[in-house]
């Protein structure tokens, strides 16, 4: 089991943002978490990454309890985040942003080879390696955010709204990247509002509402669940393809 979450709770003062959440992600598996704005999706990822504390529950990564670990130690344990809004450093070059992703690594001799692999995967970044990240398009910035996460050499990747603000063509590119990462044995937790993207790449789907999981099943099972689609995702079954 790559990632296992048991009975997780997240609180911000009196606000109970995540309640009784449990999930597992295996090697080479994509688990999507869907829900409306404010449902608890991003709070869940922040706690998994150590950016917010867990009020209750347990998080295990490759058999090791990381519930109380700081973010830097989780990165060293091969957990990485592609954050919502990309969060690249626009005052640094493309190459410098990628180097930032390797900050926790000890195998420095492998870094250059892996950056070369990132450039091979994302030719647009290779062409702009010495350009400031501020000049990149939205799609290129998303590719850079994914590349930076990969530089941490993760076994588990958390992706927070990777299709946000992208054109349909670039959403398709994100889909291709997620599929390629799954084929290379990465475990992925994908938080999305793009239902079509999630249905196309996920092995399993959780739907979260008011901090609780209200659905857990396969994409086909979600596709047939009219009540969940309508009540918690605001989508009529006839709109899903």
Which among 44, 46, 100, 49 is positioned nearest to 70, based on CA atoms? 49
pLDDT at position 85: 79
Beta bridge partners of 25: 3
Please tell me whether residue 87 adopts helix, strand or coil conformation.
coil
pLDDT at position 235: 67
Give the helix ranges, DSSP H, for 137-167.
138-150
pLDDT at position 113: 87
pLDDT at position 182: 94
Dist. CA 187–CA 228, nearest whole Å: 26
pLDDT at position 22: 97
Annotated domain spans of the chain: 27-53+63-239
Return per-residue pLDDT of the chain as tens, 241 residues.
799 999 999 999 999 999 999 999 999 999 999 998 889 999 999 999 999 999 999 999 999 999 999 999 999 999 999 998 778 999 999 999 999 888 877 777 788 888 999 999 899 999 999 999 999 988 899 999 999 999 999 999 999 999 988 889 889 999 999 999 999 999 999 999 899 999 999 999 999 999 999 999 999 999 999 999 988 887 654 444 4
pLDDT at position 202: 97
pLDDT at position 167: 87
Match domain 27-53+63-239 to its CATH number in 3.10.20.340, 3.40.50.2300, 3.40.50.300, 1.10.150.120. Answer: 3.40.50.300
Sign of CA dihedral 129, 130, 134, 135: negative
Q: What is the CA radius of gyration of the chain?
A: 18
Q: What is the pTM of this model?
A: 0.91
pLDDT at position 222: 95
Please name the residue that has the structure tokens 């830097």: 72
Sign of CA dihedral 126, 166, 52, 28: negative
pLDDT at position 165: 83
pLDDT at position 112: 85
């Amino acid at each position: 089991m790559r990632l296992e979450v048991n009975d997780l709770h997240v609180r911000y003062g009196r606000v109970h943002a995540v309640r009784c959440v449990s999930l597992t992600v295996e090697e080479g598996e994509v688990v999507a978490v869907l829900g409306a704005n404010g449902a608890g999706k991003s709070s869940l990822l922040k706690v998994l990454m150590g950016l917010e504390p867990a009020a209750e529950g347990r998080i295990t990564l490759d058999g090791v309890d990381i519930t109380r670990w700081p973010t830097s130690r989780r990165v060293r344990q091969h957990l990485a985040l592609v954050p919502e809004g990309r969060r690249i450093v626009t005052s640094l070059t493309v190459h410098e942003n990628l180097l930032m992703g390797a900050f926790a690594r000890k195998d420095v001799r492998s870094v250059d080879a892996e950056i070369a692999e990132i450039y091979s995967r994302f030719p647009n970044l290779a062409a702009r390696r010495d350009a400031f990240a501020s000049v990149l398009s939205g799609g290129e910035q998303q590719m850079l955010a994914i590349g930076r996460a990969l530089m941490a050499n993760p076994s588990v990747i958390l992706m927070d709204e990777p299709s946000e603000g992208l054109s349909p063509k670039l959403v398709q590119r994100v889909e291709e990247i997620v599929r390629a990462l799954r084929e290379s044995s990465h475990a992925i937790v994908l938080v999305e509002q793009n239902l079509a993207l999630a249905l196309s790449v996920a092995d399993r789907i959780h739907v979260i509402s008011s901090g609780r999981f209200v659905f857990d099943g396969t994409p086909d099972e979600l596709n047939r669940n009219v009540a969940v689609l309508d009540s918690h995702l605001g989508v009529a079954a006839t709109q899903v393809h």
